[in-house]
Amino acid sequence: MRRIEVGGTQPYAVEVGAGLLDTLRVPERHVALIHPTDLPAEFVARAQAALKPVVTIPVPARDDCKTLEVLSGVLSRLAAANIPRDGAVVGLGGGAATDLAGFAAASYLRGVAFYTLPTTLLGMVDAAVGGKTGVNLPEGKNLVGAFWPPRAVWCDTDTLGTLPGAVFREGAAEAFKHGLISDPTLLSRVLSPEFRPGGPLLEGTLADAIAVKAGVVTRDLTERGERAYLNFGHTLAHALEAVTHHGVSHGDAVGYGMHYAARLSRALGGADLTGHTRAFLTWQQPAPLPPVSFEDALTFMARDKKADADGVRFVLLKDLARPYLTRVPEAVLREEFAGWQRDLRDLNLLT
């Protein structure tokens, strides 16, 4: 078992290992357990046996749960169950479910304790760590939310064995991103055949990828500076999710977005890292993209959370592990978007 400490004003630990679902303990006596409807019943039962929640709240799977309507229903269930101020919300499932659970915890009674048990690779590496919680709007992804750090995170690697291969590879996008922006040793490990559920590289690679994010959020919880670097590839990724009405999964969208960001980085004088991002797309095998115009993508990119009064900003790379935040002229965005689409056609990733 590996343990990663997340510091700051509200420190907590992330535990990574097998069998953690059976050893869960929280100090709060009144616990609400939130999980997606597509989660294996075994995981729910094991969490219930360990935590003995007073209420268990199923929510729609994946991003279908990240709506204000679902949030409202969850808050009503918490109130009906008389969860007190010294109670707790536990999020069990993928990143979407834990995002929702965390926002419910931050909102209910102006904030109750929150714990998270991610069951997907994407949830473990990204959503569960760092305290970002929230839901989507029709106008864009994660536009409503709060910073609400968990009290603890448990990543039971046994849960990854139930994931379809495509879902596991989708989640690897965030680990690969951490390799590009901070720890290049992750790049070859993520693409190794030994990085798989039950594989010898799984726990160590997962823990090292989490450690990258833990270090960043320790230094910059509320994204005043360095934390923005974790959004490498996400400006286009969130746009692709929005323009396709979440027909593109988050991990697949990040894979696509990283390649676009690598092309922009090269166009603005950075090292050519497109070989890495092409290799990742070849390994990831994301679902092919439907046609998306530059104008449609730009509309949603302009709403990105890194935008300010002067417009959208992109996280780019001068070289491996050398990220920076900058504006990109629209002409360059347009030209590289066309080149990005050509690359995807070469990889048979455009429908």
**Digit-coded pLDDT (tens) for 21-52:** 988 999 999 999 999 999 999 999 999 999 99
Confidence of residue 144 (pLDDT cuts 50, 70, 90): very high
- Single-letter amino acid code for the residue at 141: K
Give 87-118 as a DSSP string.
-EEEEEESHHHHHHHHHHHHHGGG--EEEEEE
Q: What is the SS3 assignment for 322?
A: strand
Instruction: Give residue 140's pLDDT.
Output: 78
Give, in degrees to the nearest 5, the angle at Cα 346 between 345 and 349. Answer: 45
Give the Cα separation of 27 and 43 in Å (integer).
21
326 burial class (0-12, 13-18, 19+ CB within 10 angstroms)? exposed
Of the chain, the end-to-end C-alpha distance in Å amounts to 42
Q: Averaged over 57-64, what is the pLDDT?
A: 93
Pairing outcome for strands 314-319 and 55-59: unpaired
- Per-residue pLDDT at 75 exceeds 90: yes
**Digit-coded pLDDT (tens) for 163-207:** 999 999 999 999 999 999 999 999 999 999 999 999 999 999 999
Backbone angles phi, psi at 328, to 5 degrees: -125, 130
